Structure 1
Amino acid sequence: MEHLIVHLPYEARVGGPMQYMWIYPFERFLRRLKKKVKNKAHVETSIIETYIVEEIDLFPSQYFEPDVESKRSMPQRNDECTSSDDGIQVSIFNYPDGASGATKKRWLSGPEQHIIKTYIFTNCEVVTPYYDAEVTSLPAYFVNGYNFQTERHNTGMSTMNCGVCVKSSSYTDEENDFYGIIEEIIQLTYTLIPNLHIMLFKCHWVDPVRGMKVHPRYHLGNVNFKKLYQKDDPFILAQQEVHKF
């Protein structure tokens, strides 16, 4: 890899920013064109007919009501759209909306209801009358520039997307890093007010004292997931300063 320090600075100086030298956008566009071809004997005709069908499908969607979902109004895959409900000025409900994957419904257990209720009310007491025990469970959620996934959904993947790191302050004004694995991503719904949701991460936390060691020379952290935090406080808000590790 010695050659990298020779030609990369020259390419950066001559070519400018890297995004202007990437070929990925053109390869993706060519793939879209190839998918339109159904008759290899008439390639151009297949592409033209597919374009006509897409234009016919797209044209009437411009006259749909704003609340009707269509291909034209769908956000991009990793687009953080801030969800701010009309008439709701409580900051806890203004979260970047980036849910992804197939959802499913489940009921909260008694201890989970108590923990979530206590945690939410500690951060925002305005929501007290609107609490509901039914939640939506998600396999993945995009927030803070990261695509977080549950431990089960992340199993078998080449990259780790289920690890989270949050900073917690104590009474001594010291900040501690808490590392954990996402067990479940929960969307909590308050039914008395339409479209009122809160996103929560349920995590297995590592004990910051027994399960976390820092190398004295290189200052690299070693996280031991066999030594978990024993306190019953697994939930965090999705819009907190959450980072992936």
Structure 2
Amino acid sequence: MCYIGHRRFLPASNKRRRDKKNFDGTVDMREPLTPKSGNKILADVDMFSNSRKCKSREDKQGWKKKSVFFKLPYWSKLKLRHNIDIMHVVKNVTESLIATLFNIKNKTKDTWKSRKDLMDKDLKKNLHLQPDDNSFIMPMACYHLTKEEKRKILELLPLSIRGCLTKEVRLVLYELSKCFQKLCTRSMYLDVLEEQEAKIVLILCMLERIFPPSFFDIMVHLLIHFPYEAKIVGPPQYRWMFPFERKMGTLKGYVKKKARPEGCIDERYIDKECQNFCSISHKVELEEENSDNVNERHEKQFASWLHQRLNSWPQLFHTQSCEKNRKTQNSGVVVQGVHGENITDFYGILQEVLEIENLGENKRVLVFKCNWFMVGDKKGLSIDKESKVRSVNTSKKWYIDQPYILASQAKQDFYAPNLKLGKNWYVVQSSAPRALYVVNVTMEEVHQEQEAHLNLTVDLNMDQLSLTRDNVPLEVVDALTIALHDITQKTCTKATTSRTRARS
């Protein structure tokens, strides 16, 4: 089952509604669907008995049974009676997208069966199977990666996709990534959600323009509902399954004897709790300072000490030498400063962490020593015209005689290799710490935080899009395989028709 036809959610004046050639060969002037109220749904399902499926074929408004939750007096009055978990949607959409781009066997959504569907519907003729003696040639689509491009792709999508594929495909992937990031921010405002509500429709229409119908399963379609849900119940971070799945991953790691998983989890969890309570680190610190009145000082100072520790956790910095043999990256630093008359972001790499102690006042200050990259000219900083992504040249150093900043001034960023510009050029990717939330800020600051993730402003006009690629090897499909598939389909269709007539 494919969920396509997202053009109906576009404004009535949008030219894509009348675009027959690039979509399904029809003009789509249907009214956009609107969510039904609880009272309307209750009126539709009142004809059913609770929790029993209806087998009759008369019109039931798309419903098969009446949910048992409608016994609750408040259920029909709720504005939102379900919650789409964005974690699983993002995971499944990303997996489908990567499998299709890499053309992974048994996982890609673009198979010869999908091409056969396009032939049956007479859509996207450039992608139709082409007969060749006793086989069929399957042209490679514009979203398929070449062998060399597959080698270049890193784990960090979509930044790594910048040097691959065609411009039109990259633009849609950029916008999809930006939409995910905006909908996953910790602070949301109504105007931002309304903007994303309009943009996600356009993105889905452009994906329909590029990918086959089989790509659009229910997970892809659910994207259109995220802004609406967020307007009713707030940011998805308070509703998604990420913390529960992480906790389950930790608990599953406790299992050493698969015959008794519950016992393993119980024992390890108790051990962990005992360790936490037994390791009274605050008392140890107090004893090291002064062994007098430890318990009294602990009672007075513990709350403020814990508050200070919690505030210092969100951002974790490592020096460049510390992460030399690690896969993670925590040495990227960005700080806002003034260059000339302009306010500029300075990007660098943390080299040393120094602690300065004032003996007279018994106060300590953390200082970062960093290597700063030159961002004052085009040789050191490059802003991509297509995606507006910033890249820095790590071979160009700046402010060598002024390497120090206060630790409290530093924010974290990450550097990913720029496949487009080549050696020494790295893409700057800013990211807020997972445990840090924005509170008591102005709307302008929220917009700045959201734009810092991936500042993309692209034109999604793809009238000149070519659906095929010439530099990707063609795939050959045996004609006998297709013939057997057609026979099987016809047999199944006849059997379904016979059963329907028998029921009538």
The two structures have a TM-score, normalised by structure 2, of: 0.28
> 2:368 aligns to what?
201
> 1:5 aligns to what?
220
Residues 123-202 of structure 1 aligned to structure 2 (within 5 Å): 142=313, 145-172=314-341, 174-194=342-362, 196-202=363-369
Structure number with larger C-alpha Rg: 2
Q: CA deviation at 1:197?
A: 0.7
- The Cα offsets for residues 61-80 of structure 1, whole Å up to 9 and x where unpaired, read as 99962656xxx99x88xx86
Matched AA of 1:189: E
- The Cα offsets for residues 74-119 of structure 1, whole Å up to 9 and x where unpaired, read as x88xx8637xxxxxxxxxxxxx5x3xxxxxxxxxxxxxxxxxxxxx
Instruction: State whether residues 347 and 372 of structure 2, in contact with CA within 8 Å, keep that contact through their aligned partners in structure 1.
Output: yes
> 1:65 aligns to what?
295
Q: CA deviation at 1:54?
A: 3.5
> 1:54 aligns to what?
274
Instruction: State whether residues 372 and 400 of structure 2, in contact with CA within 8 Å, keep that contact through their aligned partners in structure 1.
Output: no
Q: CA deviation at 1:229?
A: 1.0
> 2:246 aligns to what?
24
> 1:216 aligns to what?
385
> 1:112 aligns to what?
none
> For residues 66 and 212 of structure 1, what CA distance do their matches in structure 2 show?
55
The two structures have a TM-score, normalised by structure 1, of: 0.52
Q: CA deviation at 1:20?
A: 7.6
Task: Give the direction of change, closer, same or farther, for the CA distance of 1:19–1:231 in structure 2 (3 Å limit).
Answer: same
Task: Give the direction of change, closer, same or farther, for the CA distance of 1:202–1:5 in structure 2 (3 Å limit).
Answer: same
Task: Give the direction of change, closer, same or farther, for the CA distance of 1:21–1:235 in structure 2 (3 Å limit).
Answer: closer
Matched AA of 1:65: N
Matched AA of 2:241: Q
Q: Secondary structure at the residue paired with 1:54?
A: helix
The structure that is helix-richer by fraction is: 2
Give identity over the alignment, percent. 18
Matched AA of 1:188: I
> 2:134 aligns to what?
none
Instruction: State whether residues 335 and 345 of structure 2, in contact with CA within 8 Å, keep that contact through their aligned partners in structure 1.
Output: yes
The structure that is strand-richer by fraction is: 1
Q: Secondary structure at the residue paired with 2:361?
A: coil
Matched AA of 1:239: S
Task: Give the direction of change, closer, same or farther, for the CA distance of 1:228–1:216 in structure 2 (3 Å limit).
Answer: same
Task: Give the direction of change, closer, same or farther, for the CA distance of 1:188–1:26 in structure 2 (3 Å limit).
Answer: same
Residues 58-137 of structure 1 aligned to structure 2 (within 5 Å): 65=295, 81=309, 96=311, 98=312
Which segments of 5 or more consecutive residues in structure 1 lack a partner in the other structure? Answer: 83-95, 99-141
> For residues 244 and 318 of structure 2, what CA distance do their matches in structure 1 show?
28
2:398 paired with 1:229? yes
Which segments of 5 or more consecutive residues in structure 2 lack a partner in the other structure? Answer: 1-95, 97-214, 230-235, 284-292, 415-504
